[in-house]
Amino acid sequence: MSLSGAYGQSADADGIRVVHHAIERGVTLLDSSDMYGWGHNETLLGQALSGGWRDKVVLATKFGQTQRPGGANGVDGRPEYVVAACDASLKRLGVDVIDLYYQHRVDPTVPIEDTVGAMAGLVKAGKVRALGLSEARPETIRRAHAVHPIAAVQSEYSLLYREQAEETLATTRALGISFVAYSPLGRSLLTGTVRQASDIPAGDGRGRHPRFAAENLAHNLARTAAIETVARAHGVTPGQVALAWLLAQGDDIVPIPGTKRAERVDENVAAASLALTEAEVASLSAALPPGAAAGARYPEAALKAVYL
């Protein structure tokens, strides 16, 4: 996502180098979507994975969000759209099969059984290996899983966003489903690199997020002081502590921090070697309890499409 304009501009050649660097550093899961740059991200990954890189990774992408006039995203979970979207993603990625295919946003106008039924048809056809959902409520996950096994559920989860994620986690664990945590660094709020609203570059999508609004940002940054305390004790970065906290929540959790910089890839990978004590994990959880963040996690229009 960060390689396709969501967090400022990124040159394709630089993006390909970052993807290759990540794979060389041991990253084995690449996560995309047909709405990241509206096809650009998948095309970029297709270029990066050509020439022998494809077999080194689990390739995940998503469908379901659509472009509407005026800027607001739509959603489409109709069975016929599922098939068409998958075929288009396969072509852009330049692959014969997608390892993990997510419904990016649940379509409230289409029964989840119908959408997942069509996704199951993709597995039967050999176009997809495993199915996932993104931003789905526990009851939606259970209904989907009854149609076809759901391998992974992707939701926002970090020290600054825990409420709905931890509700979802209880369901995924009961069903044996992996939990993929996106925005595990709170869109940079947990990294110590943002101190004021002016630190967000022009054109960066974070500028539209309520948690970065002036009236909320100071509150949210103050709550992260506990992370910086633990980071200093270990001689690591706050972002590494935030990732280590997530990893400490269970072996079924897979954080997917995004970046467009090779040095951040190295920093994030190194977080896997950071072992926090039980007391440190508990102190961080207490310092940033569920509901601690100020501001919704998405602008109002986008918020209506999550956790359905």
- State pLDDT tens for residues 1-39: 678 766 667 789 999 999 999 999 999 999 999 999 999
Contact yes or no for 240/231 (Cβ under 8 A): yes
Q: pLDDT at position 200, please? A: 75
What pTM does this model have? Answer: 0.93
Q: pLDDT at position 204, please? A: 72
Integer Cα distance of 212 and 7 in angstroms:
13
Q: Which CATH superfamily is domain 2-303 in?
A: NADP-dependent oxidoreductase domain (3.20.20.100)
- Residue owning tokens 């050509």: 50
> Can you give the three-state secondary structure of 8-54, one letter per residue?
ECCCHHHHHHHHHHHHHCCCCEEECCCCCCCCHHHHHHHHHHCCCCH
Integer Cα distance of 103 and 224 in angstroms:
32
Beta bridge partners of 255: 181
Q: Which amino acid, residue 165? A: A
Which tens digits make up the pLDDT trace of 200-230? 776 677 777 888 888 898 898 888 999 999 9
Sheet of strand 128-134: strand arrangement: 29-31, 58-63, 98-103, 128-134, 150-156, 178-182, 253-256
Q: pLDDT at position 7, please? A: 65
Q: pLDDT at position 124, please? A: 98
Contact yes or no for 179/252 (Cβ under 8 A): yes
Which tokens in the block code for residue 103? 């419904």
Q: pLDDT at position 129, please? A: 98
Integer Cα distance of 32 and 277 in angstroms:
33
Contact yes or no for 48/24 (Cβ under 8 A): no
- Write the CA distances from 223 to 192, 216, 218, 220, 294, integer angstroms: 12, 11, 9, 5, 10
At residue 250, what are phi and psi to the nearest 5 degrees? 155, 150
pLDDT in tens, the chain (308 residues): 678 766 667 789 999 999 999 999 999 999 999 999 999 999 999 999 999 999 999 999 999 999 987 767 899 999 999 999 999 999 999 999 999 999 999 999 999 999 999 999 999 999 999 999 999 999 999 999 999 999 999 999 999 999 999 999 999 999 999 999 999 999 889 998 887 777 777 667 777 788 888 889 889 888 899 999 999 999 999 999 999 999 999 999 999 999 999 999 999 999 999 999 999 999 999 999 999 888 888 888 788 888 88
Contact yes or no for 149/116 (Cβ under 8 A): no
**Which residues are marked as active site?**
36
Closest CA to 132 of 179, 93, 174, 187: 179
- Write the CA distances from 66 to 31, 85, 161, 250, 268, integer angstroms: 18, 10, 26, 34, 31
Integer Cα distance of 71 and 129 in angstroms:
33
Integer Cα distance of 129 and 98 in angstroms:
6
Q: Which amino acid, residue 20? A: H
User: Three-state DSSP class for 136?
Assistant: coil
Integer Cα distance of 89 and 55 in angstroms:
17
Contact yes or no for 97/128 (Cβ under 8 A): yes
